[in-house]
Structure 1
Amino acid sequence: MDIQDSVTVFRTIIESSPFPIFLLMGEELVITLANPAVLRTWGKTTVVLGKKFGDALPQLRNQPFEKLIRNVFRTGIPYFSGDVEAQLEVGGQLRNYFLNCSYQPFKDAEGKISGVICFANDVTTRVVAQKQIEQSENKFRQLVTKSPYIMLVLNGPEFVVEIANQALFDYWRKTPEQTLDKPLLEVLPELKGQSFPNVLKHVYETGEPHGEVETPHLLETADGLITNYVSYLYEPLHNSDGKVSGILVAAEDVTQRVEDRKRTEASEASFRLAVQAAELGTFDKNLVTGLMYWDQRCRELFDIDGDREVTYEGDFLPGLHPDDRERVDSLIKDSAFIKSVSNGDYDVEYRTIGAKDKKLRWVKSKGKVFFDQKEKPIRFIGSVYDITEQKLAEIRKNDFINIASHELKTPLTTVKSYIQVLLAKAKEDDDDFRINALTRVDKQSNKMHSLIRNLLDNARLLEGEFKLDIHPFNIHELLLEVVTDFAVISPSHPIELKDCESVVVNADREKIGQVIENLLSNAVKYSPKGSLIIVRCKTTDGYAQLSVSDEGIGIRRRDQDKLFERFYRVENERIKQVSGFGIGLYLVAEILKYHNSQIAIESEEGAGSTFYFKLPLA
């Protein structure tokens, strides 16, 4: 084959090659040959033949290709590149391509380098696809590593931990060095015998995802083996052949939630038992939807059968005694449902009339109203308790006290009159024995008179017949009078009137005197003999503040809130022998309530007590 034939064959091979090939000749790198494949890549025609490489492709001048080719021409050392990015003008627009280049020195018949033959394979499609895959992998890796939930990727049948996030390291209590690129059972050998390895194997072999909620998980820690609870999903990952190559694990540590729910369920069970044992009824009203729930005991107290829906207007209000209906309805709507008034607290006693048996029942009810951010009531829950027997016993007790008080009042008045007559006669006769004896009897009759007065006032309060006679009077004169009289009745305790200003108040003089007497009586009862009792009065902001202080046994904080309830007596071994009905302080509180005032207390067990209240200046 002659030279001409060889050249022809060479050209034919180049031009028929599906790969881009071109030949640059001389130091000026003139394009001598360029096959159709390279022309398509350049976006050019055969018009570039005979032109210098830089002139034919000016967009490549600031790119490294011409420099690399010249180096091959000068040195004769071939050059091979990987995937190189190039900007080429195609259709009048610059486009990015990726080329796999090879530059070989081209020698003439004498072995001298006369040019460079260039191979430039367009791998743009492959590189772009690869970059997209890498981007997807990076996004996936970021999704896993940045997730607040536990996430990891297990690779192959050995379930090697390929990717994991910080949430997983925290949950497993492992470092990345202890976890990554290691088989799962090597990282957590305690999983053997648990369900997780078998489930993972099933997902890997079948390609079927699997998830469970609140599954127990035994985890080995520095403190030993602990039981956690996890909700998880195993999602198979497929390779380009469609085969399962790994598993994506997404999980959440729900241990706290499960334990909280178990505690709540236990508390609710205990609460139900307590409610049943105490025979409490419960109610729950959704104030947004209007739906109301009553348990069986609550229905019994209104004599409502079955499980039919109950309503406030259709069952609760009609089930109340007519004399209680308006009061209870107002207490709920005008107090409990207004946060600024009651803070949602509800505490009331009322009577019910059975829907069918028409039986009267006394009920004690306590509840709580919940509000939204705008202080609109949204939920009303509470309990009810049958106090019928307790109430009837209290009524019988009140009836007995009222009758006894009225029956004793007249005889006592007569007795006191005779005592006064006899005492006057004894003084005329200068009979010291009779004077002393009758004086003692007179003191006891005064105590009896005070007791009966309290009992009668209690009856008037219960019957709604308690009335005040409000008028101005000098509070200092009243206190001096009460303290002087009481010192005679109870000489066992020195009583001092201290820091008392001579001011005029607007109140019922007799009833305020009764308040002071009851407070002094209370101080004498619960203070050691010989201990000092101090009565004070001072003015502040248009009010006179009166107080009675003692050096007695004091009152526990838990008893202070109940101290002013009718018939309440503190349970204390030290005062078991102290007599009384438990109505003295109750009357104090009620009398002051009628004066738009209230009694307050400062006390510490073993350190005495101070009772105080305010009255408006006249």
Structure 2
Amino acid sequence: MNSATEDKYVSKKAIAANEERFRALITAISDIVYIMSADWREMKQLEGRDFLADTNEPLADWIAKYIHPLDHDQVKTAVEEARRDNKIFQLEHRVLRADGSIGWTLSRAVPILDHKGNVREWFGAASDITETKRAEEALKLAKKRTDQQKRVYETIANSTPDLMYVFDLQYNFIYANEALLSMWGKSWDDAIGKGLLQNGYEPWHAEMHEREIDHVRTTKTAIRGEVSFPHAVLGKRVYDYIFTPILNDKGEVEAVAGTTRDITEIKQNEQRKNDFIGMVSHELKTPLTSLTAYLQLMEKSNPAQEDPMTKKILGQSIKQSRRMTNMINGFLNLARLESGKMFIEKEPFDFATFLQEIAEETRMLYSQHRFVFPESAPVNINGDMGKLAQVINNLIGNAVKYSNLGSQVRISTIIEGDQLKISVSDEGTGIPQEEISKLFDRFYRGQNNNLIAGFGIGLYVCREIIERHGGKIWVEQSTDQGSTFCFTLPV
């Protein structure tokens, strides 16, 4: 053997050894290994390793056996491109697995050349990527659903006249719907990512909302408020808003969502209503006061009142005129309260003396009930005597209204720390437990009160008066044996 022939032999042997090592490496790291003929018409061998069915003899209909029908054309096209340019075949496609199910592979095949540079066969390997493709499909489906939900939510958010927005924890807007952008007179790019001041809020307004965002973040609870804000087109408007925490999967606040509603028209209508109630009540009060005075004058001018019927009629007339006066006063106070015109004019006075004056008037007005008033020591209170008298008279009036004739109404006082506690107890029908929490709401009347006159504003006004004095009012107990209403005043 001459040297040239010997070199050629050594070279072929080295190439064969390299090829064997290459095959061994691919076989070791691949899920599937296969060998194709030079023209790809036959599959010479396939080791499916339980993923695909093995074949140890040439197979001509390998496409029908292994490739999913929907991918036949795609595989044929990729094979033709690889053969034409003698380049690596590479393709992701579906296959028919050994168990009959559909799987996915990433298949690669390299051309193996003979000593003349011609392709003698193709050596291929494939990986099982079924789970990866399933995950991709699930992710794609989830994204599609998310995009669909996003479009629905954006449609809802942008079609409502309410202002909807989201703050990050640095007080910057990270979302604003069309209504809010319109109110600002800004585009999305101009507003999003910017803070309150940058979006036109006055310093006091920005500071207020920043404190509220801090409160939501700290407490993880919603907060509600009302504020005036200039609209870019409509001018100054009144808004009711609520801030709500957005929690992550760890239960931590990651953002704060807000919703704001324009209540300008509602406020204007309420003001018109209050003005009307106040005007009508004031106009009614003047003639009613005169009528009561005339009735009292008639009663005093004929002290003997020999005719029992006349005496009874006068007494009932005075009683009813006082009741109507109290109702009108209630409407006046409600109108003043809601328009912000109810003033508490405090001055120091002795509550014990004040209560005795109320006792004398009460016994005259409600002669068919028994009243027990305390014999208390002097107690100094700083308050509005007229407003506090209205509270006590209202509680006494309710006690009389909801209890039988001849029953007892007890008024008691006790000092607890720096508070004076006043209680009014009756022997009436009591209040259902489910109604107690609603008693001090505006215009609320119990389900069983349809036969008793009233508009459900007395206790609402009482609560406002007591709270403006720095006290509290509540129902201490209520059974079918009677109820006890209590309130406190700072001593």
- TM-score bucket (shorter structure): 0.5 to 0.7
Sort the Cα spacing of 1:289 and 1:393 in 2 relative to 1 into closer, same or farther, 3 A.
closer
Residue among 179, 182, 190 paired with 1:309: 190
The residue aligned with 1:250 is 131
Find the aligned partners of 1:267 and 1:294 in 2 and give their Cα distance. Answer: 14
2:334 is aligned with 1:453: no
Q: Shift of the alpha carbon at 1:440?
A: 1.0
The CA RMSD measured in Å over matched residues stands at 5.7
The residue aligned with 2:84 is none
Find the aligned partners of 1:610 and 1:418 in 2 and give their Cα distance. Answer: 36
* CA-to-aligned-CA distance 1:209-247 (integer Å, 9 cap, x gap): 5499xxxxxxxxxxxxxxxxxxx9744488998412552
Whether the 8 Å CA contact 1:234–1:250 is kept in 2: the answer is no
* CA-to-aligned-CA distance 1:561-603 (integer Å, 9 cap, x gap): 6x645x5436x76556655444323322221221223344579
Whether the 8 Å CA contact 2:161–2:179 is kept in 1: the answer is yes
Residue among 301, 317, 337 paired with 2:214: 337
Residue among 432, 440, 446 paired with 1:554: 432
Whether the 8 Å CA contact 2:32–2:47 is kept in 1: the answer is yes
Whether the 8 Å CA contact 1:554–1:603 is kept in 2: the answer is no
2:463 is aligned with 1:589: yes
Whether the 8 Å CA contact 2:166–2:176 is kept in 1: the answer is yes
Structure 2 residue identity aligned to 1:614: T
More RCO (CA 8 Å, sep 6+): 2
Question: How many residues get paired?
Answer: 414
Find the aligned partners of 2:476 and 2:420 in 1 and give their Cα distance. Answer: 18
Q: Output aligned runs, 1:499-518, within 5 Å.
A: 504=379, 506-508=381-383, 509-518=385-394
TM-score under structure 2 length normalisation: 0.61
Sort the Cα spacing of 1:606 and 1:432 in 2 relative to 1 into closer, same or farther, 3 A.
closer
* CA-to-aligned-CA distance 1:155-200 (integer Å, 9 cap, x gap): 889996748xxxxxxxxxxxxxxxx999xxxxxxxxxxxx988569
Q: Shift of the alpha carbon at 1:398?
A: 1.0
The residue aligned with 2:167 is 285
Find the aligned partners of 2:145 and 2:371 in 1 and give their Cα distance. Answer: 62
Q: Secondary structure at the match of 1:250?
A: helix
Structure 1 residue identity aligned to 2:197: E
Sort the Cα spacing of 1:547 and 1:270 in 2 relative to 1 into closer, same or farther, 3 A.
farther
TM-score under structure 1 length normalisation: 0.50
Whether the 8 Å CA contact 1:332–1:346 is kept in 2: the answer is no
* CA-to-aligned-CA distance 1:297-341 (integer Å, 9 cap, x gap): 3355x47376673463355536xxxxxx95x55642444533499
Residue among 318, 322, 325 paired with 1:442: 318
Q: Shift of the alpha carbon at 1:403?
A: 2.0
Q: Shift of the alpha carbon at 1:466?
A: 0.7
Find the aligned partners of 1:428 and 1:573 in 2 and give their Cα distance. Answer: 44
Q: Output aligned runs, 1:316-465, within 5 Å.
A: 316-317=200-201, 326=204, 331-339=208-216, 345-358=222-235, 360-368=236-244, 379-461=255-337, 462-464=339-341
* CA-to-aligned-CA distance 1:40-94 (integer Å, 9 cap, x gap): xxxxxxxxxxxxxxxxxxxxxxxxxxxxxxxxxxxxxxxxxxxxxxxxxxxxxxx
The residue aligned with 2:444 is 569
The range that moved more, 238-247 or 289-298, is: 238-247
Q: Output aligned runs, 1:86-485, within 5 Å.
A: 162=50, 208=90, 210=92, 234-236=105-107, 242-244=123-125, 247-251=128-132, 262=145, 269=152, 273=156, 276=159, 279-288=161-170, 290-291=172-173, 293-299=175-181, 302=183, 304=185, 309-310=190-191, 312-313=196-197, 315-317=199-201, 326=204, 331-339=208-216, 345-358=222-235, 360-368=236-244, 379-461=255-337, 462-464=339-341, 466-471=343-348, 473-474=350-351
Find the aligned partners of 1:389 and 1:202 in 2 and give their Cα distance. Answer: 66
Whether the 8 Å CA contact 2:222–2:245 is kept in 1: the answer is yes
Q: Secondary structure at the match of 1:587?
A: helix
Find the aligned partners of 1:203 and 1:496 in 2 and give their Cα distance. Answer: 102
Find the aligned partners of 2:347 and 2:93 in 1 and give their Cα distance. Answer: 79
Find the aligned partners of 2:375 and 2:33 in 1 and give their Cα distance. Answer: 91
Percent of aligned positions that are identical = 21
* CA-to-aligned-CA distance 1:88-145 (integer Å, 9 cap, x gap): xxxxxxxxxxxxxxxxxxxxxxxxxxxxxxxxxxxxxxxxx9xx98xx87xx9xxxxx
Whether the 8 Å CA contact 1:336–1:342 is kept in 2: the answer is no
Find the aligned partners of 2:471 and 2:50 in 1 and give their Cα distance. Answer: 76
Structure 2 residue identity aligned to 1:348: G
The residue aligned with 1:615 is 489
Whether the 8 Å CA contact 1:554–1:609 is kept in 2: the answer is no
Sort the Cα spacing of 1:365 and 1:434 in 2 relative to 1 into closer, same or farther, 3 A.
same
Whether the 8 Å CA contact 2:245–2:255 is kept in 1: the answer is yes
Q: Secondary structure at the match of 2:170?
A: coil
Sort the Cα spacing of 1:447 and 1:604 in 2 relative to 1 into closer, same or farther, 3 A.
closer
What are the ranges of 5 or more consecutive residues in structure 2 without an aligned counterpart? 1-20, 35-42, 55-66, 80-88, 95-102, 113-121
